[in-house]
Amino acid sequence: MNLIYNDDDRLIAWAMERIGVPAFRPDARAIGQESNGELNAVVVFDGFSTVDCNIHIASDGSSHWLTRAFLIAAFSYPFIQCGLRRVTGLVSAKNIAALKFDEHLGFRREGYHPRAAHDGDLVSLGMLREWCRFIPTESRHA
């Protein structure tokens, strides 16, 4: 498995296709992971403020894409490199698997947004830097 940086156009296009969104915000940045030359996971960050950004995770649907190295990279970027205090995810209320996955990672449900998506409702989830087990302990309270 190799992590891919500095290839935002390719990674964002791949994530858009997997997630089914028409676009991310203009400030979007991405980190990808490939195996045998094929992308199997991409995390996209957008909507940056001085304390927060949105996070979107896309995979190839296989059972082999989730690696600790990918999760460390996915959370080190916003929390360590960008110095943000939190990340926010919006998930379709119908996507039970994604909600369970995000909560397993350490996200907490923060809100429910009726009719906020084209296909129904959205759930907002957040993770604070101090909750993130994928960054070094000393970085959680920086």
Q: What is the predicted pLDDT for the residue at 65?
A: 84
Bridge partners, 117 (sequence order): 120
**CATH number for the segment(s) 2-139:** 3.40.630.30
> Could you state, in order of their start, the residue ranges of all structural domains in the chain?
2-139
Closest by CA position to 57, among listed 35, 42, 71, 79: 42
Name the band, by pLDDT with cuts 50, 70 and 90, for residue 142: low
pLDDT, tens digit, 9 for 90 and up, residues 2-37: 999 999 999 999 999 999 888 999 999 999 999 888
pTM of the model: 0.92
Q: What is the predicted pLDDT for the residue at 141?
A: 82
pLDDT, tens digit, 9 for 90 and up, residues 105-123: 999 999 999 999 888 999 9
